[in-house]
Amino acid sequence: MNTVELIRKKRDGKSLTDEEIKYLVSNFTKGKIPNYQFSSFLMAVYLKGMNKKETAWLTNAMLFSGSVINLDSIKGKKIDKHSTGGVGDKTSLILTPIVAAAGVNVPMISGRGLGHSGGTLDKLEAIPGFQTNVTLKQYKSIIQKCGAVLAGQTKEVAPADKLIYSLRDVTATVESIPLITASIMSKKLAEGIDGLVLDVKTGSGAFMKKYNDSLALADSLTDTAKAFNKKVIAFITDMNQPLGNYIGNWLEVYESIKVLQGEMLGDLVDLSLNLSGAMIYLGGKALSIKEGTEISKEIVASGKAFDKFLEIVKLQGGDVSMIKHPEKYPKSKIHESLIADKTGYIKTIDNYEVGMASLELGAGRITMEDKIDPKAGIIFYPKIGTKIKKGEVIAELYTDEKEKIDSVKRKLLSAVTVSNQKTTSVKLIKTTMVV
Amino acid sequence: MNTVELIRKKRDGKSLTDEEIKYLVSNFTKGKIPNYQFSSFLMAVYLKGMNKKETAWLTNAMLFSGSVINLDSIKGKKIDKHSTGGVGDKTSLILTPIVAAAGVNVPMISGRGLGHSGGTLDKLEAIPGFQTNVTLKQYKSIIQKCGAVLAGQTKEVAPADKLIYSLRDVTATVESIPLITASIMSKKLAEGIDGLVLDVKTGSGAFMKKYNDSLALADSLTDTAKAFNKKVIAFITDMNQPLGNYIGNWLEVYESIKVLQGEMLGDLVDLSLNLSGAMIYLGGKALSIKEGTEISKEIVASGKAFDKFLEIVKLQGGDVSMIKHPEKYPKSKIHESLIADKTGYIKTIDNYEVGMASLELGAGRITMEDKIDPKAGIIFYPKIGTKIKKGEVIAELYTDEKEKIDSVKRKLLSAVTVSNQKTTSVKLIKTTMVV
């Protein structure tokens, strides 16, 4: 096989075979195909697409570029969740203990935040001592002990994805449905799961801003899961405003604690319980998503969810006293309130800008090398469809960098549009696909 | 400016500005933009195209990546010719002495053959001693002395083109009209010419096999020449069969000698005289292409063209005795005749396969590192529209590698299709564009 011929084939809009895709991925991973040829191939895929079969073959080639974890020795079903990312999305921290407490294993491998979007690993590492960098042995042993693990991607899992992702990031080939699908699914399938719940975000704070693009991605992800005989449920959910109110790593841990203690209401709770409900259903511990959601509510109300969270934190080396007494956590040097400059009904929120504002305060990173401040972030109150009054507090800002405050305040105020007429709230769960 | 943003812009089908294109080309040439980003950009250009302005800006950025030769000190017009390449195309060797003898300077920078297509430099170097690798000083001094030079690309001229071309070759981004245009025109404009005659080939032995693609390339080349205020005439000419009968480096020098001595007739002579006629017209020594062609005929008939060729060969270090007595040239170890296996009228010739057959005998190269055998090649007699009879000689094969003969014979026989009905000959010059 000849690399240039294969690039040419995709460039001309033709379909590649299983063998051809394997050849490209395995030789690229081995360093036998140089970056400059693979990036030209990636751009051809970006512009000419891949059909369902090609996407499944690409996923498979990336999956088998490394180890596929075998969790057969662990009793019970293993179900994971993947979200395409957004602002304030801390559902993984909430649903993992709930689902594990319901008797379904959650072997979760997560990523870091980049740009406007947060990452589960960064949130977990805001807990002093919490280790996300575990070996394969520890990974299995933690699941065995408590029914869940919250880990980072190990070197053994889908090394092709890591290489391909780095290249996509610098060659303008990120937003491609077959490439996103293969990247997500190769990692998730390598975890040794039986089923997967997908939370595909849509709206101003999502990578896919348009509903139809989110739907296409959800279709591609579920088709690929089916091709690998995995059970899958996909939700398309709103990301036109932050999920919950807390944005920033420790702030999100804090809000998760409050949800797990049953002290919260609203979109974050609703979505978390629906996702955990779907996972419990896929794990065979409920007869429907609805029943799974009811079970989830009971598990939170009984205190079992919070106890399970403490157990996971302890097993992964985290400081449990901080979870029990979050008021002890170090405070940001600066804490300022943002005051509404107009009265009206909230019409739209540029949620991307809200995420970028939090990043500016220190909560995120522009490049993978940037350091983040776990304390920094925003508590953001406005929700589309509600009313705000000039002069009232609409957000709290936390940072160690005083000079950032003014620009962040301006950014947040201009991210919110208000109307004199009543506006309607957004639908949280837009679509549920059970396949 | 941000490289990823610029790749994204082109990927999304938007037009780049002059400054953006300059940024990409100059930073790539300096090694500040890595190959993997530039190849992704090239694929985006391949698939999304470039408009006239962008193509001219790209040409300009590549042109000014190196020195632009100043030939102002040399009296008279400087006119060059560029052909997009094909099989048996040795017109440069014929028209250069004709045009120089007519009093128009020809500062020609040529390339090497690759794949099925031959290159002027390889043909010239088949002449013992002939130096194509000249310094800028020698380049000027040779033109000054004899009105012409036949040289290779120096390091100083359009270094961006060399880098970009190597990358295109291995990333399936060769056949792109804006990229081909900028590559050709940046080199030609750097020569310090006043005008240019373009021979855009079309047909089975050309890079552009379809007439419409050749027309689009001719349009793009002439538009770009106009953007730089250069006089230009473009011909679209047939490449569905070898030009002349001789294919292979020394064989083509031999056929050129015979044309310059007035001993030949046919498509090669017709095209060479039309091209030289156009160059003489652009050089101000004739009032029309037709008059230029008549002048060319007289120059050949008078012996001035052959004398000028001897003068150029001598000035560039070549062994003039070989040109005067070509029968002295070393012979291939193997010389075999190819016998027609059927009777009929020639309908089509797969000219790409004829070029590849010559390469297989040793006359060409697959990669730039391959050595070529100057003696090797084919004398190929069939022309579309003529009749062949089973048993008659249709080609002569020359090689040092006996084991190649059988496969080349099979290749040549299957490259020719014959019909019982009379077939029509092909039109040599399909279009003449004077702009």
Residue A118 pLDDT class (50, 70, 90 cuts): confident
Q: What's at B229, amino acid-wise? A: N
**Angle at CA of residue B5, ends B1 and B10, nearest 5°:** 115
ipTM of the complex: 0.86
Q: How distant is the Cα of B130 from the closest Cα of chain A, in angstroms?
A: 35
Q: Which residue of A28, A40, A46 to mutate against B (max B Cβ within 10 Å)? A: A40
Q: Which residue among B3, B11, B172 places its CB closest to the CB of A40?
A: B172
Same domain flag for B258 and B348:
no
Residue A247 pLDDT class (50, 70, 90 cuts): very high
Strands A231-238 and A429-434: antiparallel
Residue A130 lies in a domain: yes
Residue A66 lies in a domain: no
Same domain flag for A303 and A336:
no
Q: Which of B303, B325, B347 lies at the terminal end of a domain, its last residue?
A: B325
**Angle at CA of residue A223, ends A214 and A240, nearest 5°:** 15
- Please tell me the distance from the alpha carbon of residue B134 to that of residue B353, in angstroms, as a whole number: 34
The reported pLDDT for the residue numbered A114 is: 75
Same domain flag for A303 and A227:
yes
pLDDT tens digits for A157-196?
Answer: 899 999 999 899 899 999 899 999 999 999 999 998 999 9
Segments of A302-354 assigned E as strands: 334-339, 344-349
> Can you say how many angstroms the Cα of residue B40 is from the centroid of all Cα atoms in its chain?
28
pLDDT for residue A430 is more than 90 = yes
Q: Which of A289, A310, A325 lies at the terminal end of a domain, its last residue?
A: A325
CB contact under 8 A, A170 and B44: no
Same domain flag for B338 and B275:
no
Chain A and chain B share a number of CB contacts under 8 A equal to 80
Catalytically active residues of A, by annotation: 82, 161, 168, 183, 187
Same domain flag for A343 and A394:
yes
CA atoms B183, B189, B191, B193: torsion sign:
positive
> Does B224 touch chain A if contact means CB atoms closer than 8 Å?
no
The reported pLDDT for the residue numbered B233 is: 98
Same domain flag for A123 and A259:
yes
The reported pLDDT for the residue numbered B112 is: 86
- Please tell me the distance from the alpha carbon of residue B166 to that of residue A17, in angstroms, as a whole number: 28
Q: Which residues of A touch B172 (CB under 8 A)?
A: 4-5, 7-8, 11, 40, 44
pLDDT tens digits for A303-331?
Answer: 999 999 999 999 999 999 999 999 999 99
Residue A399 pLDDT class (50, 70, 90 cuts): very high
Same domain flag for A103 and A234:
yes
Name residues whose C-beta falls within 8 Å of residue A135's C-beta, 6 or more positions apart in sequence: A154
Same domain flag for A304 and A285:
yes
> Does A171 touch chain B if contact means CB atoms closer than 8 Å?
yes
The reported pLDDT for the residue numbered A169 is: 87
Instruction: Report the residue of chain A nearest B170, measured CA to CA.
Output: A4
B214 is catalytic: no
Residue A265 lies in a domain: yes
- Please tell me the distance from the alpha carbon of residue B182 to that of residue B174, in angstroms, as a whole number: 12
CATH of the domain at B389: 3.90.1170.30
Among residues B161, B199, B350, B373, which one is catalytic? B161
CATH of the domain at B103: 3.40.1030.10
User: Residue A160: which H helix or E strand, with range?
Assistant: helix A159-170
- Please tell me the distance from the alpha carbon of residue B163 to that of residue B161, in angstroms, as a whole number: 5
Domain that holds residue A405: 330-419
- Please tell me the distance from the alpha carbon of residue B80 to that of residue B106, in angstroms, as a whole number: 5
Nearest-10 crossing angle of helices B211-227, B52-63: 60
pLDDT for residue A368 is more than 80 = no
How confident is the model over A258-262, as a mean pLDDT? Answer: 98
> Can you say how many angstroms the Cα of residue A109 is from the centroid of all Cα atoms in its chain?
10
CB contact under 8 A, B171 and A34: no
Q: Which residues of A touch B44 (CB under 8 A)?
A: 43, 47, 172
Same domain flag for B240 and B126:
yes
Q: What's at A276, amino acid-wise? A: S
Same domain flag for B273 and B315:
yes
Residue A238 lies in a domain: yes
pLDDT for residue A366 is more than 80 = no
How confident is the model over A422-432, as a mean pLDDT? Answer: 97
Q: Which residue among B7, B46, B167 places its CB closest to the CB of A172?
A: B7
For residue A157 the two structure tokens come to 């899992």
Window A:25-64, CB contacts with B under 8 Å = 34-40, 42-44, 46-48
Same domain flag for A319 and A349:
no
**Which of A139-148, A208-217, B359-368 is the least confident region?**
B359-368
Q: Which residue among A3, A4, A44 places its CB closest to the CB of B43?
A: A44
Residue B251 lies in a domain: yes
Residue A1 pLDDT class (50, 70, 90 cuts): confident
Residue A149 pLDDT class (50, 70, 90 cuts): very high
Tell me what the pLDDT averaged over chain A comes to.
96
Number of folded domains that form chain A: 3
Segments of A111-163 assigned E as strands: 148-152
Instruction: State the SS3 of B136-149.
Output: HHHHHHHHHHHCEE
> Can you say how many angstroms the Cα of residue B81 is from the centroid of all Cα atoms in its chain?
9
CB contact under 8 A, B4 and A170: yes
Q: Which residues of chain B fall short of a pLDDT of 70?
A: none
DSSP conformation class of B361? I
Residue A180 lies in a domain: no
- Please tell me the distance from the alpha carbon of residue A29 to that of residue A17, in angstroms, as a whole number: 18
A252: helix, coil or strand? helix
| Percentage, residues of chain A above pLDDT 70 | 100
The reported pLDDT for the residue numbered B54 is: 98
Q: Which residues of B touch A35 (CB under 8 A)?
A: 34-36
- Please tell me the distance from the alpha carbon of residue B65 to that of residue B191, in angstroms, as a whole number: 14
Instruction: Report the residue of chain A nearest B164, measured CA to CA.
Output: A36
What's the alpha-carbon Rg for chain A, to the nearest Å? Answer: 22
Instruction: Report the residue of chain B nearest A175, measured CA to CA.
Output: B8
Residue B69 lies in a domain: no
Residue A68 lies in a domain: no
CATH of the domain at B42: 1.20.970.10
- Please tell me the distance from the alpha carbon of residue B96 to that of residue A94, in angstroms, as a whole number: 80
How confident is the model over A393-422, as a mean pLDDT? Answer: 97
Same domain flag for A9 and A145:
no
Residue A364 pLDDT class (50, 70, 90 cuts): very high
pLDDT tens digits for A61-109?
Answer: 999 999 999 999 999 999 999 999 999 999 999 999 999 999 999 999 9
CB contact under 8 A, A42 and B37: no
Q: Which residue of A20, A39, A48 to mutate against B (max B Cβ within 10 Å)? A: A39
